Amino acid sequence: MFRDWIDELFRDHYQSYQLRRSAIHPPGLEVTLKVLEIISKRVNYLQDSTLSAAPPLHILVSGGSVTSGIQCGINHVGIAQPVGLKEDNDCAWPARLEHLFNRVLFDGKKVVKVSNLAVGGSNSEIGKALLEYHLFPDSFQQPDIVIWGHAVNDSYEKDKARAYFESIPGFVNAAHKLRICDDHLPLGRFIKPQIGL
């Protein structure tokens, strides 16, 4: 179902130079093993409900308007939308990421949960406050992965040095303090929202 869409996406829209940074800076072995352990426990639990309950891998996404889904229903590149995605705010890339993981990799099972806490116009300072003060919905599960998508709004800051040397590291520190008793989580990833993941 997705193969043609993914082939077209990577052939025509995502070039290798855009993906290079993620390949050059992969997460460490301990973090990767921890994430795989969470996924494995969840998959095993979904196959055998007599096992201890295992929550889905939780990905928290923080960013600006592109991440929150502003005008995400507008398709500028002409790629047909995959079947099964909703036409409303669920078309933002974080919802597509959850859909991609669960439908494509895990055969429709709810193994990954993506929470989109992006706010249009927000920068890393706002994202940091969201994390530091736990401004999350009720019954919010602590994230295993935090994705930062404030690059566009941070680039518009007048004081670039403050944005790059204080705000962004402050966001990263706030993300790591979410799971203070776990040296390996949450895994932090940075994205450039203009190109998605």
User: Parallel, antiparallel, or unpaired for β 145-149 and 57-63?
Assistant: parallel
- pLDDT tens-digit series, residues 57-69: 999 999 888 888 7
Smallest CA-to-CA distance from 142 within 110, 118, 177 is with 177
User: Parallel, antiparallel, or unpaired for β 187-190 and 145-149?
Assistant: parallel
- pLDDT tens-digit series, residues 64-87: 888 887 766 555 555 555 554 444
Q: What is the pLDDT of residue 58?
A: 94
> What pTM was computed for the model?
0.76
Q: What is the pLDDT of residue 111?
A: 96
Q: How far apart are CA 30 and CA 45, in angstroms?
A: 22
- pLDDT tens-digit series, residues 165-182: 888 889 888 988 887 777
For residue 53, name the pLDDT band (cuts at 50, 70, 90).
very high
Estimate the crossing angle of helix 124-132 against helix 168-176, to 10 degrees.
20
Q: What is the dihedral of CA 114, 104, 7, 60, to 10 degrees?
A: 10
